Amino acid sequence: MPDTPDDPYLVPKPDPNQEALGDPRVQDFLGKIGQAEGADYNTLVGGTKINDLSKHPNVVGLTTSAGPSTAFGKYQITGTTDKT
């Protein structure tokens, strides 16, 4: 594989979500989800704060009758979902 700027394997692809994230309706929608979840970007389900935001912590923060939860962040994304 050639190591040139023209090599299609080396050219980063644009993020298709970038344009949508600039839409005020999308921002409002995400804001409502974050508000409903009641968490900050560094909050693990159950309220524990995590300092390392470089990756999903994937630790159980709370266990209920439905089972353990690894929900994390403003939108309370689970470790399983984050891996997809």
Residue 57 to residue 77: CA distance in whole angstroms: 11
For the chain, domain boundaries:
17-82
- Specify the pLDDT at position 62: 94
Residue 19 to residue 23: CA distance in whole angstroms: 7
- Specify the pLDDT at position 12: 78
Residue ranges in the chain modelled with pLDDT below 70: 1-5, 8, 84
- Specify the pLDDT at position 2: 52
Tens digit of each residue's pLDDT (9 = 90 or more) over 20-30: 999 999 999 99
